[in-house]
Amino acid sequence: MTVMTKRTPGRKPARPNHRKGEGRNPGQTRTPSKRTGPKGAEPKGTGLRDTGLRDTGPKAAPSKVGRRKPPRGAKPDLEQASRKQDNKENRWKPTHHPRRAAGQKAKQGTSSKTSRTSRDRSGAGIEATVLPGLIPAARQELTTTAGVTQVRKIQGEDALTIDGTAQLERLEAARTISAVWLRRTYAVPRPKALLGDEALRSAAADLQRVAQRHAFTGLRLEAAGRDTATLARLADAYAQAAGLPHDPSGGDLVVRLRPSTHGSAGNRRSGGSGRPGSQDAWDVLIRTTPRPLSTRPWRAADRPGSLNANVAAALWLHAGVTPDERILNPACGGGTLLAERLATGPAAFAYGFDVSADALADARSNLAGVPGGPDVHLQVGDLQEPGWGLSEALGLFDTIVCDPPWGDAVGSKQEADALHEALLKSARAHLKPSGRLLLVTHAIKTTDRLLAEGDWTVVSDRRVFAGGHRPRLLHLKLAR
């Protein structure tokens, strides 16, 4: 029977109190909840108890939902206690957010205290630039002859990063490298922050280190937007630190400024925030020599169409040299291939000929600047003449090396094709059976057609980029 309550006018009826047995039939019980307390305590949340029994024990203390009170005498859970303490200590510590951190760096970079944000992130490093395609040759030379132990290619660049402890003198003596640069990375969001005290002091130390090693005439800054007021101030400050005048057009102490390829965390070109176009570090590079290393000291006469000295050095490096070899250089021109060979090491005999007497005069001037150069035999001769006009008394050669005209700066394409055909068909008569032919050519289709005839075996075939061309460096041997 349901207990009815008296309704007072103007008031809502009172809700039945189930704990007192109101609103339910006598003897009705409620199924206990699965969540129970310790043994001996009343089940939690049971509602009506069995009306035939009385509660003889004390009521269990209510606990928080989802937690149990540990049994009496149980050992404390030290691991859980430690975890609670760590959560409590770290509750109010802000979490790291990469974009927010990058924004804070950018704000710091725009403050007046630029010296605090222009931190030297990576220290002074060394970078070597090379021609496209010469990375393997430069790496081989640096590790074998320059004593460099750590060489790594820079992603997306035709350059190598080198251990900062390497000796600059040995690096500048490398023959396959275009230039050596002293590089320092600054954690700044824009070049304006490089005018801070700390950044200027660091750059001044690098500039003075380079300026004391060679005789420079002026400083030149190479950077996008170098005509802006900010970069003009930066160039003047660098020139004052180096003790040189600022010469934007003819300065030989070259300083480059670029977005860092080393300092950004997470990605390189896009900066540390991960957003395209953002940048939080800049590289300042200082060339260590007044001229590029490809400008050789021995080159007294620079003829049109002369081969790049780095390419010639790479050809000899890949092919290998021996002091007892006999070398023949048809169409020698200004003597670049012969000069680079003798600069690498001595040879038993070297002979060159060219159809132009003026070219031979330039070759003599250039060979005078390398060891053993004055001993090279030079003679007027025609590559298209039968037997090349050589005397039989000269005998056979171990190496024939040639850089025929490419048909742009010297001659025409038809003349270049004819010279290639004369070379590949007549070289056999002047080579020893174990000899080799080293060829630098831009006549790709003509060379492929002649090689398809089967008189030569290709030992190696490499492509480089020089002077707007992509010549092939071919190492050939006589087919058996």
Contact predicate 444/452, CB 8 Å: no
Distance CA 165, CA 300 (A): 34
- 355 Cβ contact partners less than 8 Å away, ≥ 6 residues apart: 331, 380, 381, 382, 383
Residues of the chain with pLDDT below 50 are 1, 33-37, 40-56, 63, 88-96, 98-99, 105-122, 264-278
Q: What is the pLDDT of residue 405?
A: 86
- In this predicted model, what pLDDT tens digit does every residue of 305-321 receive, in sequence order? 889 999 999 999 999 99
Q: What is the pLDDT of residue 46?
A: 45
How many alpha carbons lie under 13 Å from residue 173 in its C-beta half-sphere? 12
Instruction: Find tokens 């590029």 and name the residue.
Output: 292
Q: Please classify residue 316 by burial: count the beta carbons closer than 10 Å to its beta carbon, then call 0-12 exposed, 13-18 middle and 19+ buried.
A: buried
For 87, the enclosing helix (H) or strand (E) is helix 78-89
**What's the gap between Cα 15 and its chain centre?**
79
Q: What is the pLDDT of residue 216?
A: 97
Q: What is the pLDDT of residue 467?
A: 72
Distance CA 245, CA 49 (A): 101
- Strand 472-478 and strand 431-441: the pairing is antiparallel
- In this predicted model, what pLDDT tens digit does every residue of 45-69 receive, in sequence order? 444 444 444 444 555 555 455 555 5
Q: What is the pLDDT of residue 202?
A: 94
Domains of the chain by start residue, with CATH = 103-287 (3.30.2130.30), 309-478 (3.40.50.150)
Contact predicate 363/334, CB 8 Å: yes
The three-class DSSP label of residue 364 is: helix
Strand order in the sheet with 253-259: 151-153, 159-162, 119-129, 179-187, 282-287, 253-259, 219-222
Other CB atoms within 10 A of residue 357 CB: 9
* Phi, psi torsion values for 456, nearest 5 degrees: -130, 150
- Residue 177's alpha-carbon distances to 135, 139, 224, 459, in angstroms, are 9, 9, 24, 24
